[in-house]
């Protein structure tokens, strides 16, 4: 059986260390291409600099084809990055799968699409699309939306309503009109039908919460998309222009809700008999709104939905493969099997996964191949440190100290063979675009690296440092000649999206005894970590795992 899991073989030449092998994922920390705008370089990183200067290290790819995305023009993201670091191989990921299914027509030939279209055609009802309107290709792509609208028109759908979430994180922070105005023109180009944007707002203000961090975002989205409650405008373009005048400097991601109305009435509420497609392909920020649609009337939710329409609901993909959420979806997700966690628990390795709320799902669900729960309750411990529900630029240190407290306790306990943790600072604060806050976040994180180093020294373990993608290393928009773009105020234009830069591959091994070459392999991706970690624990990795960063002697 191809997917059978067997215990790993011990390496007869190396028993491993007396302490645990600890993987620190410094989320959003890469090697910047430009000096100006690199908040990592601008920070006083005493310990990270020491590790880089004194330990075996290499640069690892964390974007594009190295993590299963369509091309090397595609930035990596936390979902695919943790998938790669957890399974040791590269699987075709969301954007690529969706693009392929549209190109070959399989999406439109599948039962779910046919069911949703037939529903609205039979009932003369509306087909609704909810999702992120940009070409960031991290959560969604506007081309996917347009392709589905074109197909709906071909199949006779008379009413289409788009509930447009503004990006500003995976694309330029104030680029909304580059997508929204052309989308309105695109929708207006269809004859003898009613196609329009019906509602929307910034992705960090409504709808796209994750990990149950702030359900008020979902409530605001429900009110705007479903109930048609919120500030009304004649068009989405007008809404964006108005908010920018009223709230100078507002970023797209933070823009308040808008409801498109005609003669004082919303043009696109969601009603009984409609079909709804959440067209984001990435799952973490789609699960809560999906739950709001799929929870029956009277079911428990963190907010009162007021009205629960009976609709045919589908996600772009299956957002939770273990719980099978949503119940209907358009494209099958990658089938990720034989992850590192499966192999380690089969081998009897005791492990700990820990982060704060914002990235807890990444070191568990995504790391385990989009699987909820544990492989072995007796061998695995998962710890979630609750995140603060405040803008990240106001608490840039986030919970890195509290995470470290528990990691040090775990190292000292001698209970674990392997510990993986995620410091979210470089990514979550990086997305705010506030340079000084990112510097603060980096320096706060660096102090924790020093604390973990001391615990590793005492326990005789190994510390591995890496990231899932870059972000804080590229905080300014740059022109093609490398110069920094300036805003109307003359200040550098903030960049809030991930970078295409490589990330660290650092190994700190204070009790090194010459078992491997100190010169690490180069030109590898972050999917090389599982084989590396298995090597460092004294095991032989599966033969089809991507190459280890180290060469054993």
Compute how many other C-beta atoms are within 10 angstroms of the C-beta atom of residue 238. Answer: 13
Q: What is the DSSP letter of 311?
A: -
Q: Which residues contact 547 (CB under 8 A, 6 or more apart)?
A: 521, 524, 528, 531
Structure-token pair, residue 387? 């995140």
The label of the residue with tokens 């100006």 reads 36
Phi, psi (5° rounding) for residue 435?
A: -60, -50
Residue 167 Cα to chain centre, angstroms: 13
- Give the whole-angstrom CA distance, residue 78 versus residue 92: 15
- Give the whole-angstrom CA distance, residue 214 versus residue 311: 25
Q: Where are the beta strands (DSSP E) in 362-502?
A: 380-385, 418-423, 462-466
Buried b (16+ CB within 10 A) or exposed e, 445-461: bbebbebbbebbeebeb
Q: What is the DSSP letter of 66?
A: G
Indicate if 78 belongs to the active site: yes
- Give the whole-angstrom CA distance, residue 476 versus residue 511: 40
Which among 430, 440, 423 has a CA at the least distance from the CA of 475?
430
- Give the whole-angstrom CA distance, residue 334 versus residue 337: 9
Q: What is the DSSP letter of 468?
A: S
How many helices, marked H, and strands, marked E, lie in the chain? 16, 18
- Give the whole-angstrom CA distance, residue 120 versus residue 194: 13
- Give the whole-angstrom CA distance, residue 418 versus residue 218: 36
Compute how many other C-beta atoms are within 10 angstroms of the C-beta atom of residue 532. Answer: 27
- Bridge partner list, 196: 161
Which among 450, 552, 548 has a CA at the least distance from the CA of 508?
450
- Give the whole-angstrom CA distance, residue 313 versus residue 219: 18
Q: What is the DSSP letter of 189?
A: T
- Bridge partner list, 275: 127, 312
Indicate the length of the chain as a whole number: 553
Residue 332 Cα to chain centre, angstroms: 18
Q: Which of 43, 78, 387, 528 is catalytic?
A: 78
Residue 31 Cα to chain centre, angstroms: 20
Phi, psi (5° rounding) for residue 247?
A: -125, 80
Contact by Cβ (8 Å): 388, 441: no
- Give the whole-angstrom CA distance, residue 127 versus residue 121: 9
Contact by Cβ (8 Å): 171, 495: no
The label of the residue with tokens 């011990």 reads 10
Residues noted as catalytic: 78
């Amino acid at each position: 059986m191809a997917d059978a899991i067997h215990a790993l073989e011990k390496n007869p030449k190396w028993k491993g260390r007396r302490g645990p092998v600890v993987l620190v994922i410094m989320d959003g920390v890469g090697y910047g291409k430009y000096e100006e705008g690199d908040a990592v370089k601008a920070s006083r990183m005493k310990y990270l600099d020491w590790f880089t200067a004194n330990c075996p290290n290499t640069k690892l790819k964390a974007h594009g084809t190295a993590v299963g995305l369509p091309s090397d023009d595609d930035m990596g993201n936390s979902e695919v990055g943790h998938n790669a670091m957890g399974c040791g191989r590269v699987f075709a990921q969301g954007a690529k799968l969706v693009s392929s299914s549209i190109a070959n027509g399989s999406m439109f030939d599948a039962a779910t699409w046919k069911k949703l279209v037939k529903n609205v055609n039979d009932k003369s009802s509306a087909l609704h699309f909810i999702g992120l309107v940009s070409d960031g290709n991290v959560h969604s792509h506007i081309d996917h939306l347009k392709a589905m609208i074109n197909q709906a028109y071909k199949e006779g759908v008379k009413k289409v309503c788009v509930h447009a979430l503004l990006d500003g994180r995976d694309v330029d922070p104030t680029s909304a009109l580059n997508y929204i105005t052309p989308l309105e023109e695109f929708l207006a180009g269809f004859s003898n039908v009613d196609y329009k944007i019906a509602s929307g707002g910034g992705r960090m203000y409504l709808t796209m919460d994750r990990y149950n961090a702030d359900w008020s975002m979902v409530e605001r989205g429900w009110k705007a998309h479903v109930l048609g409650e919120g500030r009304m405008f004649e068009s989405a373009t007008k809404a964006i222009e108005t908010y920018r005048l009223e709230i100078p400097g507002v970023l797209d991601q933070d823009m308040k809700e808008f409801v498109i109305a005609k003669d004082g009435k919303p043009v696109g509420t969601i009603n009984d008999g409609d079909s709804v497609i959440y067209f984001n392909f990435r799952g973490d920020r789609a699960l809560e709104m999906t739950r709001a649609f799929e929870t029956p009337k009277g079911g428990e939710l963190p907010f009162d939905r007021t009205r629960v329409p009976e609709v045919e609901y589908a996600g772009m993909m299956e957002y939770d493969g273990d719980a099978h959420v949503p119940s209907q979806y358009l494209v099958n997700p990658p089938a990720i099997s034989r992850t590192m966690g499966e192999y380690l628990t089969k081998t009897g390795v005791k492990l700990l996964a820990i982060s704060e709320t914002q990235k807890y799902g990444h070191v568990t669900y995504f790391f385990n191949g989009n699987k909820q729960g544990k492989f072995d309750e007796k061998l695995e411990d998962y710890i979630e440190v609750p995140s603060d529900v405040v803008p990240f630029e106001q608490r840039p240190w986030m919970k890195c100290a509290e995470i470290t407290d528990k990691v040090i306790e775990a190292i000292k306990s001698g209970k674990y063979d392997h510990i993986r943790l995620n410091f979210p600072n470089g990514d979550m604060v990086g997305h705010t675009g506030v340079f000084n806050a990112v510097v603060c976040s980096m320096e706060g994180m660096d102090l924790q690296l020093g604390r973990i180093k001391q615990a590793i020294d005492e326990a005789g373990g190994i510390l591995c440092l890496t990231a899932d993608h870059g972000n804080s290393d590229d905080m300014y928009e740059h022109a093609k000649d490398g110069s920094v773009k300036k805003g109307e105020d003359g200040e550098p234009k903030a960049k809030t999206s991930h970078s295409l830069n490589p990330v660290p591959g650092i190994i700190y091994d204070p009790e090194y005894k010459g078992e491997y070459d100190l010169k690490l392999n180069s030109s590898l991706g972050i999917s090389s970590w599982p084989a590396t970690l298995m090597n460092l624990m004294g095991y032989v990795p599966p033969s089809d795992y991507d190459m280890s960063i180290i060469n054993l002697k």
